Structure 1
Amino acid sequence: MYSTLDVDIRPGTGLGLFELGGTTSYHVSKPELRTEFDHVRFQELHCDVKYDADSPITPIVLHIRPHLDLLFSGYHQRLHTISLRRLRDPHPPVTLRYKNTTLSSTEEVLRRVGVKRAFGPTYPGDDLRYPGVWFSFDEDGRNEGLRPSSPPPDDRMQEVKRVMISQKSENDEPTDALSEVKDGVVLHFYPTSSEPLHIRIGVTTAQDLTCDLGPPPRINYREDDRMTIHSRAGKLDDDLGTSYFYNYFQHGIDFLISGSTHVVKKIIIHTNIPGTALFQQYKRCPWAIEGKPEDDEDDSPPQKWFYDRYEDIGHFLSPGDSPPSMMLDRTDDEEQLTLPSAPTRLLGYNGIILEVTDSAQVATVMLF
């Protein structure tokens, strides 16, 4: 009977007892492994070391068979990359966790859809890559570096063969606009004689919303925090897990409220497009994105409306090249829901995330 190797993923930080940038090759000697892997019979671990004998600053690769490969930098000999492979090899069996979720175990096979459920959308490619961690469906890495424009359409159940944890590099990764903050939204109600309501991120409180909009039809305490992995800071909010949503279905808008300060952190506006996963869950909010006036005397600043195509809105937000897109399939969490064009794209700009359908319509606008 083999003991289980139980490890947790920390994207950009480490895996199990190994800390990227902190663990050195000196710490990962056999006596250290014997102590740290006391829950696994040491006889089950077979270690090989690879390096360039002709170089004094050679990178070092430590293979702890059958599951772990550790790459140490050549200069400081600090842990740079961790590879976890052969997840289904029972000698010893592996349990892989992320936060409070078991991703892979002797009973649970990690598949593409499971990764997306745990980590959310990411950029298209054969592998699923997130800042600090990526998941490969090829055992020996023969397809590394090959990045097709989109994955095969029927690959939801594709089995993960390797998991790579590496230090984050802002220079090598696409720029995300997830840490930027916008002022908020101005809501106009009918009849038009009603005063506009300005809801500001970081200022408006939950009590303000209740006074101005009434009690929300639903308060949702389950925050989908998967997108925080793309934040440049790489840190979760201090009140993560206590934040909550005010869902105003009748207005087509959601507000994420801080669990500690009870101020608005995020605003999500819904277009209610037929054929999308959220169709008819929200009333349409006929939104417009307003630009800066051309001069001080301009009382009609430029705007783009919910019915404009993404190409026009994207150019309005950023006249340069379009940002990299992430794929989001809301049916991943709804096994009984089937849509002809379920996946959408997420494109981040300065403080704004647009969710775009394959017909170039903007389904939701997210303000941070």
Structure 2
Amino acid sequence: MLGELDLDIRPGSGLGVFEIGSSLWAVLDMLRRMQHLFPQVDVKYDPDVSSITPVILHLRPHLDLLFSGKHQRLRTICIRRLRDISPPLILRYNNTAISSTESTLCRVEVRRVFGPTYAGDDLRYPGVWFSFEEDGRTDGLKGAPSDDKMQEVKRVFISQKDTSHDDGDALDEVVECEVMHADLALAVIKVHEGITLHFYPTGTPPVSVKIGHTTAQDLTLDIGPPLRIYHKDDQRMSIHSKDQADKDPGYFYNYFQFGIDFLLSGSDHVVRKIVLHTNIPGTPLFQRYKRCNWEIEGLPEDDEDGMYPHTPPRKRFNDRFETISHFLSPHETPPSMLLDRTDDEDNITLPGSTTRLHGYDGVILEVTEASQVASVTLF
């Protein structure tokens, strides 16, 4: 039998263990360790726009967690089926139970606990609102506004305080908040050089990682120790290389929490390659890495008189492969190799398991069948 869910409501900030602004990667990782409370998690997304689709985690039967499409951050929490007893649900606010299987949360109770608010179909407060409509009801099917004091609350929504009003878009990105601090905000790629890492909070000095210069010790000092060190023994790609240095297997520093791998030389312990992961739903590596918000930066373009360079152009992780390919190689698309990451997995079947590797000067793009770039490798 499932245990009782006892969750505290924190308007604008979260519910129980769930914090607004948390990453999809972090929340799914946490849910793996909480299967006794959430044994079934459904991941819902739009496969037609897989790289920028909002993602919904449905935790049966009470919770829906909506994550933003670009940064994959928890934006909105929906609590529903408050009276369902499988498992029983208790909602608390300021350490006081306001809803349980024994006590129904109704309009008058909400007003008593949260105070007066503006008129409307729902009772809306900064960071939290209460809906009296059942699941699946659309705007066109809403009934007339009711002032029945005993009208039962059907759903509760929690979101950021400055985005929870009627003029906010439910699919907007999450505004920077404390839970993001120390997370990677942006990785700027410079081909043949390396990457510049920008962290939250905004204003934190960026960290530069240069291929052929940055050492394992530098990485540990600048961005912390990796979550895993993996000694590379797969030499299948070395057959395509003319560089004798590629015969050195080296080892990886895996920063799953940043969506980045660094391949270091086994001899001098210097960064040789950098891999950045997009964490696209439906791909074999989904959820192994947090989304890395990467951008490839080109050379600055001079203005008409050639005196003042413009801002360097960039292509981003959500641009289609054809756009990024033309940016890297304007004249022709290089040949590709086929990769199926499920070849060694007997029990995994994915509709989009096959990707293609496109090699450019200093860059390899791993591309899905939907023309989305799943990963970028710099060398």
Superposition TM-score, scaled by structure 2 size: 0.47
**What TM-score do you get using the length of structure 1 for normalisation?**
0.49
